[in-house]
């Protein structure tokens, strides 16, 4: 087995690291405090090829694999999770379009993403439907050659800035199988009856736009149906198999950030006449953090490598997603503890890392959902 990255992959890592270190640190605290983001940074990322990396070349992307996406995701999140998320989720839903869209839809919706001419969002979660997406109640009623959409979506990334939204909604509400009731429909954000309200006061990833969406008699043509009517749940599960891998890479990145801050601080900070890093208790914590990060990264790399070679392993993907989230939270907690009172001040990066880390255990499948998937496989 070859665990070495290729030269091209090493170059991608280096380029991503240089871009993130050059663009993120000076603005990260500002964006966190103000809950804003300067999309000029996103434009630069597009110009350098970091957005929509795995969109195929015929649609304007680089045609790279999920492993390359994970490499960039880790580097961005190791510098700042909020900015990294704000940039790399602007093409959220591209895989869904690529897997299930028509050729016309792929040209229309994919080609703007890598060049910074479009932002997309995926509207799945609702106020009363989170982990159990089969209970999503937003409806799309067919009227001749249009769908009439009504409902509310919650916690939607890019909801306030997206040009078009992929909406998971009921098209077959009376179907006896709850997994055959939903479909995906593309809604342009300039449609009458669509409203997005930016959510403020989030614990972390504050540069990353999140919104509540309301659809009130929004009309779209039936040609905006993505995939097969009534097959939306199955399409969503296939989509999650892809998207959960880069989310796991986010956990690795933020855990790495926590370790880097812990090493820097404990090396410089003196107590009882010597650096904190000279105490065995601190050294053991750093060693454990580094080992867990390496283990999580290996899970992510294996899941991504398999996916790029045509093997989707939902159990491995769930292991990577759950474990990376767990070590992100654990490493952030340990790093803040090492900082003591200074870790409570927002000018210290570790405070932001601590707040940002938790999201990895929540979105795109909570840690409980991931463990359910793993356990079901063991017990089947």
Closest CA to 8 of 72, 74, 78: 72
| Phi, psi at 6, each rounded to 5° | -75, 170
Give residue 80's region: left, alpha or beta (phi > 0; psi -120 to 50): beta
With tokens 């910074």, the residue in question is: 116
Contacts of 194 (CB under 8 A, 6+ apart): 165, 187, 213, 214, 215, 216, 218
Question: Could you tell me which of 10, 15, 7 has the C-alpha nearest to residue 50?
Answer: 15
Class of residue 139 by CB neighbours under 10 A (exposed 0-12, middle 13-18, buried 19+): middle
Q: Answer whether 94's CB lies under 8 Å from 120's CB.
A: yes
Residue 364 a catalytic site member: yes
Cα dihedral 23/27/29/33 (nearest 10): -140
Torsion-angle region of 324 (φ positive above 0: left; ψ -120 to 50: alpha; else: beta): alpha
Q: Among 91, 97, 56, 100, which Cα is nearest to 162's?
A: 91
- Among the listed residues 35, 261, 361, 364, the single catalytic one is 364
Angle at the Cα of 107 from the Cα atoms of 156 and 83, rounded to 5 degrees:
35
What is the per-residue burial (b if ≥16 Cβ within 10 Å, else e) of 76-109? bbbbbbbbbbbbbbbbbbbbbbbebbeeebbebb
Tokens of 294: 């390496």
Among 191, 219, 186, smallest CA distance to 106 is for: 186
Using DSSP's 3-state secondary structure scheme, residue 266 falls into helix
CA distance 54 to 99: 12
Enzyme catalytic residues:
364
């Amino acid at each position: 087995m070859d665990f070495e990255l290729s030269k091209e992959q090493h170059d991608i890592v280096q380029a991503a690291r240089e871009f993130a270190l050059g663009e993120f640190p000076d603005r990260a605290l500002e964006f966190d405090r103000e809950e804003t983001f300067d999309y000029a940074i996103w434009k630069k990322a597009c110009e350098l090829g970091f957005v929509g990396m795995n969109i195929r070349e015929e649609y304007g992307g680089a045609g790279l694999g999920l492993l390359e996406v994970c490499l960039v995701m880790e580097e961005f999140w190791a510098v700042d999770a909020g900015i990294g998320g704000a940039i790399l989720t602007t093409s959220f839903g591209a895989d869904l379009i690529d897997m299930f869209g028509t050729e016309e839809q792929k040209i229309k919706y994919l080609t703007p993403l890598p060049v910074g001419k479009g932002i997309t969002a995926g509207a799945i979660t609702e106020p009363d439907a989170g982990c159990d997406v089969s209970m999503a109640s937003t409806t799309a009623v067919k009227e001749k050659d249009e769908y009439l959409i009504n409902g509310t979506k919650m916690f939607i990334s890019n909801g306030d800035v997206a040009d078009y939204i992929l909406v998971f909604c009921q098209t077959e509400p009376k179907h006896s199988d709850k997994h055959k009731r939903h479909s995906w429909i593309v809604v342009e954000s300039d449609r009458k009856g669509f409203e997005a309200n930016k959510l403020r006061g989030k614990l972390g990833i504050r540069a990353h736009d999140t919104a509540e969406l309301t659809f009130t008699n929004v009309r779209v043509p039936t040609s905006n149906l993505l995939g097969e009517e009534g097959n939306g749940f199955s399409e969503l599960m296939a989509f999650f198999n892809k998207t959960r891998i880069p989310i796991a890479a986010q956990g690795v990145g933020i855990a790495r950030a926590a370790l880097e801050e812990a090493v820097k601080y404990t090396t410089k900070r003196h107590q009882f006449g010597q650096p904190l890093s000279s105490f065995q208790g601190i050294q053991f914590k750093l060693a454990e953090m580094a080992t867990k990060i390496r283990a999580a990264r290996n899970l992510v790399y294996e899941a991504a490598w398999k996916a790029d070679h045509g093997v989707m392993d939902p159990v491995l993907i769930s292991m990577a997603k759950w474990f990376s989230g767990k070590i992100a939270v654990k490493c952030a907690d340990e790093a803040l503890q090492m900082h003591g009172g200074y870790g409570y001040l927002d000018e210290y990066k570790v405070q932001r890392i601590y707040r940002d880390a938790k999201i990895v255990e929540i979105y795109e499948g909570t840690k409980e959902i991931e463990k359910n998937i793993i356990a079901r496989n063991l017990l089947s």
